[in-house]
Amino acid sequence: MLVGLSQYNFMVASIAGVSIILGAVYMFWLYQRTMYGEVKTATASFADLNKTEMIVAVPLAIIIIIMGVYPKLILGITQPVVDSILKGFN
């Protein structure tokens, strides 16, 4: 994408590239502060998930992973509706 953008306008491609790098740096900085920072007294007593919460979280995580690996499960169901909507715009 950046190569195509640089053929159109090099300055815009440079700004886009720098913003991607700064976004990654900020993401890593934020992750480090939130995950590896000092333990606060307000959060020191938080416990891990209990069984009830795990019963809810595990199926959701499995569904998210399956949809990320094989999105056609949902896209195949929604494709006829999307096609009919797009035909209405023509």
pLDDT tens, 49-86? 999 999 999 999 999 999 999 999 889 999 999 999 99
Run of H or E residues at 62: helix 51-69
Longest dimension (CA), the chain: 60
pLDDT of 90 > 80? The answer is: no
From CA 10, how far away is CA 16, in angstroms rounded?
Answer: 10
pLDDT (0 to 100) of residue 5: 86
Q: What is the pLDDT of residues 9-37, one digit of tens each?
A: 999 999 999 999 999 999 999 999 888 88
Q: CA end-to-end span of the chain, whole Å?
A: 28
Q: What are the tokens at 22?
A: 């700064």
